[in-house]
């Protein structure tokens, strides 16, 4: 036991080992509509300029070039020769003295000086009269081709998840499909002869596996693809069999729950080494996390998680989510670390190991404040509790780790 | 134009009208594994106690009752009569002087005094010797049935999205399926004769519809179900036809983009009233948002959005996301409002209307700080800019609206 702690490493080292081990996966092309929160396979640059053509910013009249007015000059008049609705793709050209009626978004004709908004125009039959002062202004009400984004300009850097703002720009510069890093495929199995499987009847001695439900949800929320899930008895042959099958199935990550730590039925590490797995680390200097293992079987990463579901939830956020992000080439993989003021005293059961405790972060008049979350309450962060402390004080500034996606920041 | 502003209402009033109009939808039963972030159809209480049976907290020996020791007494010994692994469902009973070997999670036999952890036991053949001091302690290493949660205890209150913590508890207290409010079905159409449809070739005068891609992503992230999407020419008959079809198809929300505001092709409101739609409000006292409409057609809610995609993104967060939450019975539907310090001066183009500006919120040594987001950069909040100000100052405390799900809090 003491020996295990001696071999243990701290959380930051573990996260670094994970992120370094997990290089970006291969590329796939997906529809633009599906790209939100996905990671680009390479930096995405403008395929075409934005706007793609000169377009009108107003409903009004596009008037011919060479008719600049001035403060002293009388109104000019133009002969209305055509009408351009938005979506009209004809390449019209204006001769001197001509104008076309044009709608917002309409394609500007060649030899156009500017668009005169309709409220500045006086139309009589097929002639439009324009105040001289409305001509030769700085604002031509023309949204010029490429004035927002030049062809080749950077839209999405590598390593950042595509945001709605970037998706809008990608649509504007010609993307219909987007090259992204494929989603990591994750398989998991829950060990425990006490776990009820499928439709087995509930009775004393057996329980439902909260972990299998939990992991399905967390894997989807984390942006990975659930490949396969199993429950397995506390039997070394069965566990080795599943580990072998899953690693050969081509998934990127395998997760197990339970079967870790000292004891008669602690079988994960034995089965793992039997199928040729290589341990990268086998214990964290952290509570929870003393019994957790990270390694590789061939090209598949393996996370051995402890049995208690709250520990699985925490370690998923701190260890597996970073792996899922790293496998997609994310620049920032580990939970964001921020400072917050404690809203209440926090007592810890004992010293000896650093501890992460579920917290509820909220904001009060410009300050970040945090308190331990209650049992069964949704945490939105973890509070870092140093090994040397048993009492963290009200108002004290503590470090918290944010969840990546938190629907309910306080 | 001025007239339209006079009829406009402020954002908070609009949000209140939306939330009041959108009552919770009907119930459906889903698998426990799919319940994360869904809203319960009613308060969820424990179907069974947790733990469901008396279980061992250690690997060790369950010893018979009536053998309490004391500091002065010699060690006791018990005859080992059986072994209980986790998952063993036999109802064993101990007679005086008997013990069974038991594993963590194993079902405690009847007439058991306590579990003695194996490190405190000495086993010789079929006899286990226990130090007298290990008996009669406060800690029996028995996790008693119902000691965590009693049958009937509240697990998830109504109006809150189910969290991983609550899902874990639901698994423990006997839920295999969960009654949740069904997801709102959303259909949308983008108007604009300038929009390219499907595989149409790109050329000057036509552009891609960023809105159709954007809305697909936002609807999914918001927790709703995309039902149908269309593009439509700027034609009143076509728009009225789509509005009628979509409202009869049984979707809960219809969204349109474009075709709003004054001008020759402003056709949404006309088509909307032609199909019997009732306007709840037709303009916001907000930039962007002057041209937006909320109403009902029969039992379907309708949001008329302006054309520019950044405005659609913003109004989706402020108006449509609240509707999607309210339709699921959420207690808190509108974006969370917090205070943050401006990290840089913020200049606005003009006075006259309150404005929401995309912002990037981050945390600095316990403080919330915010700056306007750059073009194409992912915003994670909106900065509220009052109508009376053109310059918000560095270090000033401003109000910001958080996004519900923000993967990248700074």
A280 CB near a chain B CB, below 8 Å? no
Residues B319 and B287 in one domain: yes
B165 CB near a chain A CB, below 8 Å? yes
B25 - beta bridge partners? none
pLDDT, one tens digit per residue, over B69-85 is 555 566 689 999 999 98
Mean pLDDT, residues A43-59 taken together: 94
Q: Which domain holds residue A367?
A: 337-402
How far B76 CA lies from chain A's nearest CA (Å)? 24
Alpha helices in A178-308 (DSSP H): 210-221, 236-248, 268-274
Chain B residues inside the 8 Å CB shell of A193: 85-88
Q: What confidence category does residue B303 fall into, taking pLDDT thresholds of 50, 70 and 90?
A: very high
Predicted pLDDT at A101: 96
Residue B208 or residue A230, greater confidence: A230
Q: What confidence category does residue B376 fall into, taking pLDDT thresholds of 50, 70 and 90?
A: confident
Mean pLDDT, residues B254-276 taken together: 83
Contact B381, B370 (CB under 8 A): yes
pTM: 0.90
How far A163 CA lies from chain B's nearest CA (Å)? 5
Least CB–CB distance from A103: residue in B91, B203, B265: B265
Predicted pLDDT at A115: 95
Instruction: Pick from A109, A376, A379, A397 the residue to mutate for testing the B interface (most B CBs within 10 Å).
Output: A376
Least CB–CB distance from B367: residue in A213, A366, A404: A366
Does A44 map to a domain? yes
Residue A315 or residue A204, greater confidence: A315
Residues B210 and B281 in one domain: yes
Cα–Cα distance for residue pair A385/A400, rounded to 1 Å: 9
Residues B204 and B293 in one domain: yes
Residues B34 and B173 in one domain: yes
Chain A: residue whose CA lies nearest to B32: A213
Q: What is the CATH number of the domain that holds B121?
A: 2.170.190.11
Do B164 and A214 make contact, defined as CB atoms within 8 angstroms? yes
Q: What is the CATH number of the domain that holds A355?
A: 2.40.340.10
A 49-78 → B contacts, CB under 8 A: 51-53, 59
Mean pLDDT, residues A361-368 taken together: 94
Chain A residues inside the 8 Å CB shell of B192: 86-87, 105
A397 CB near a chain B CB, below 8 Å? yes
Do B168 and A377 make contact, defined as CB atoms within 8 angstroms? no
A362 - beta bridge partners? A369
Do A167 and B217 make contact, defined as CB atoms within 8 angstroms? yes
pLDDT, one tens digit per residue, over A107-145 is 999 999 999 999 889 999 999 998 877 777 778 999 999
The three-state DSSP-derived secondary structure of B292-343 is: CEEEEECCEEEEEECCCHHHHHHHHHHHHHHHHHHCCCCCCCCCCEEEEEEC
A 138-157 → B contacts, CB under 8 A: 155
Pull the structure tokens for residue B41. 């159809």
Q: What is the CATH number of the domain that holds B302?
A: 3.40.980.10
A227 CB near a chain B CB, below 8 Å? no
Q: What confidence category does residue B392 fall into, taking pLDDT thresholds of 50, 70 and 90?
A: very high
Cα–Cα distance for residue pair B316/B336, rounded to 1 Å: 15
Least CB–CB distance from A313: residue in B51, B164, B338: B164
The 8-class DSSP code of residue A107 comes to B
Tell me the average pLDDT of chain B.
90
Does A32 map to a domain? no
A76 - beta bridge partners? A130
Residues B176 and B32 in one domain: yes
Instruction: Pick from B89, B376, B396, B410 the residue to mutate for testing the A interface (most A CBs within 10 Å).
Output: B376
**Statement: residue A1 has pLDDT above 50:** no
B91 CB near a chain A CB, below 8 Å? yes
A194 CB near a chain B CB, below 8 Å? yes
Predicted pLDDT at A264: 41
Residues B367 and B300 in one domain: no
Mean pLDDT, residues B116-122 taken together: 91
Chain A residues inside the 8 Å CB shell of B155: 376
Between A216-225, A300-309, B73-82, B278-287, the lowest mean confidence (pLDDT) is in B73-82
**Statement: residue B183 has pLDDT above 50:** yes
**Statement: residue B5 has pLDDT above 50:** no
Residues B88 and B126 in one domain: yes
Do A406 and B402 make contact, defined as CB atoms within 8 angstroms? no
Q: What confidence category does residue B155 fall into, taking pLDDT thresholds of 50, 70 and 90?
A: very high
Predicted pLDDT at B2: 40
Number of C-beta neighbours around residue B122 at 10 A: 12
Residues A76 and A101 in one domain: yes
Q: What is the CATH number of the domain that holds B35?
A: 3.90.105.10
B 106-135 → A contacts, CB under 8 A: 106-107
Least CB–CB distance from B217: residue in A36, A217, A378: A36
Do A161 and B408 make contact, defined as CB atoms within 8 angstroms? yes
How far A26 CA lies from chain B's nearest CA (Å)? 23
Chain A: residue whose CA lies nearest to B104: A263
* Vertex B138 angle, CA B133 and B144, to 5°: 125
Size of interface A-B (CB pairs under 8 A): 258
Mean pLDDT, residues A330-350 taken together: 93
Would the ipTM clear 0.85, i.e. be above it? yes
Do A86 and B407 make contact, defined as CB atoms within 8 angstroms? no
**Statement: residue B90 has pLDDT above 50:** yes
Which residue, of A157, A181, A205, is where some domain finishes? A181
Least CB–CB distance from B366: residue in A208, A221, A340: A340
Predicted pLDDT at B198: 61
Which residue, of A161, A181, A201, is where some domain finishes? A181
Chain B residues inside the 8 Å CB shell of A192: 86-87, 105
B 240-279 → A contacts, CB under 8 A: 263-265
Residues B208 and B107 in one domain: no
A27 - beta bridge partners? A181
pLDDT, one tens digit per residue, over A234-257 is 889 999 999 999 999 999 999 999
Do A367 and B366 make contact, defined as CB atoms within 8 angstroms? yes
A106 CB-near residues (< 8 Å, 6+ apart): A55, A56, A62, A84, A85, A86, A88, B194, B205
A34 CB near a chain B CB, below 8 Å? yes
Which residue, of A291, A326, A361, is where some domain finishes? A326
What is the phi-psi region of residue A241: left when phi exceeds 0, alpha when psi lies from -120 to 50, beta otherwise?
Answer: alpha
B 324-363 → A contacts, CB under 8 A: 336, 338-341, 358, 363
Residues A113 and A195 in one domain: no
**Statement: residue A67 has pLDDT above 80:** no
Chain B: residue whose CA lies nearest to A59: B263
Does A357 map to a domain? yes
Does B409 map to a domain? no
Does A361 map to a domain? yes
Do A365 and B409 make contact, defined as CB atoms within 8 angstroms? no
Mean pLDDT, residues B400-409 taken together: 76
Phi–psi pair at A122, nearest 5 degrees:
-125, 120
Predicted pLDDT at A410: 55
Predicted pLDDT at A37: 92
**Statement: residue A190 has pLDDT above 70:** yes
Chain A residues inside the 8 Å CB shell of B358: 165
B310 CB near a chain A CB, below 8 Å? yes
Chain B residues inside the 8 Å CB shell of A213: 31-33, 35, 167, 171
Do B36 and A408 make contact, defined as CB atoms within 8 angstroms? no
Cα separation values, A262 from A2, A211, A248, A268, B287, Å: 12, 21, 28, 11, 62
**Statement: residue A6 has pLDDT above 80:** no
Q: What is the CATH number of the domain that holds A41?
A: 3.90.105
Q: Can you count the helices (H) and strands (E) in chain A?
A: 8, 25
Do B313 and A165 make contact, defined as CB atoms within 8 angstroms? yes
Mean pLDDT, residues B257-283 taken together: 84
Do B234 and A358 make contact, defined as CB atoms within 8 angstroms? no
Cα–Cα distance for residue pair B161/A359, rounded to 1 Å: 17
Does A304 map to a domain? yes
Predicted pLDDT at B264: 40
Pull the structure tokens for residue A192. 């425990």
Chain B residues inside the 8 Å CB shell of A160: 378
Least CB–CB distance from B205: residue in A88, A165, A205: A88
Least CB–CB distance from A37: residue in B202, B397, B407: B407
Chain A: residue whose CA lies nearest to B404: A407
% of chain B beyond a pLDDT of 90: 73
Residues A294 and A212 in one domain: yes
Predicted pLDDT at A2: 40
A46 CB near a chain B CB, below 8 Å? no
Count structural domains, chain A. Answer: 4
Tell me the average pLDDT of chain A.
90
Does A315 map to a domain? yes
Residues B34 and B65 in one domain: no
A228 CB near a chain B CB, below 8 Å? no
Least CB–CB distance from B85: residue in A193, A195, A404: A193
Do B51 and A207 make contact, defined as CB atoms within 8 angstroms? yes
Cα separation values, B212 from A133, A171, B41, B196, Å: 40, 10, 31, 11
Do B155 and A376 make contact, defined as CB atoms within 8 angstroms? yes
Does A30 map to a domain? no
B167 CB near a chain A CB, below 8 Å? yes
């Amino acid at each position: 036991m003491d020996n295990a702690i001696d071999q243990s490493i701290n959380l930051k080292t573990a996260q670094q080992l994970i992120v370094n081990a997990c290089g970006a996966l291969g590329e796939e092309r997906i529809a633009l509509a599906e790209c939100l929160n996905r990671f680009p396979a390479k930096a995405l640059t403008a395929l075409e300029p934005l706007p793609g053509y000169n377009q009108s910013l107003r409903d009004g009249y596009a008037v011919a070039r060479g008719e600049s007015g001035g403060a002293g000059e009388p109104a000019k008049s133009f002969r209305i020769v055509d009408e351009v609705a938005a979506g009209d793709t004809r390449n019209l050209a204006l001769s001197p003295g001509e104008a076309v009626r044009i709608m917002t978004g309409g394609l500007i004709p060649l030899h156009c000086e500017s668009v005169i908004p309709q409220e500045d125009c006086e139309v009589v039959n097929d002639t439009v009269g324009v105040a001289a002062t409305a001509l030769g202004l700085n604002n031509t009400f023309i949204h010029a081709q490429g004035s927002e984004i030049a062809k080749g300009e950077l839209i999405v850097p590598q390593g950042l998840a595509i945001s709605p703002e970037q998706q809008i720009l990608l649509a504007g510069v010609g993307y219909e499909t987007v090259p992204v890093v494929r989603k990591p495929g994750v398989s998991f199995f829950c060990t425990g002869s006490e776990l009820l499987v499928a439709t087995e009847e509930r009775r004393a001695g057996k329980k439902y596996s909260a972990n299998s439900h939990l992991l399905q949800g967390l894997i989807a929320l984390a942006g990975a693809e659930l490949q396969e899930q199993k429950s397995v008895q506390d039997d070394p042959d069965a566990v080795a069999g599943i580990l072998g099958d899953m690693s050969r199935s081509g998934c990127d990550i395998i997760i197990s729950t339970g079967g870790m730590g000292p004891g008669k039925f602690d079988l994960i590490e034995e089965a793992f080494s039997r199928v040729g797995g290589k341990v990268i680390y086998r214990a964290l200097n952290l509570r929870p996390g003393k019994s957790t293992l990270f390694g590789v079987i061939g090209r598949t990463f393996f996370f051995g998680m402890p049995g208690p579901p709250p520990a699985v939830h925490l370690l998923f956020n701190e260890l597996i989510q970073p792996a899922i992000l790293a496998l997609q080439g994310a620049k920032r993989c580990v939970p964001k670390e921020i400072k917050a003021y404690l809203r209440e005293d926090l007592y810890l059961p004992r010293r000896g190991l650093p501890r992460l405790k579920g917290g509820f972060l909220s904001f009060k008049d410009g300050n970040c404040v945090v308190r331990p979350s209650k049992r069964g309450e949704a945490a939105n962060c973890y509070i870092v509790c140093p090994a040397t402390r048993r009492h963290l004080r009200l108002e004290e500034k503590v470090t918290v780790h944010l969840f990546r996606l938190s629907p309910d920041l306080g």
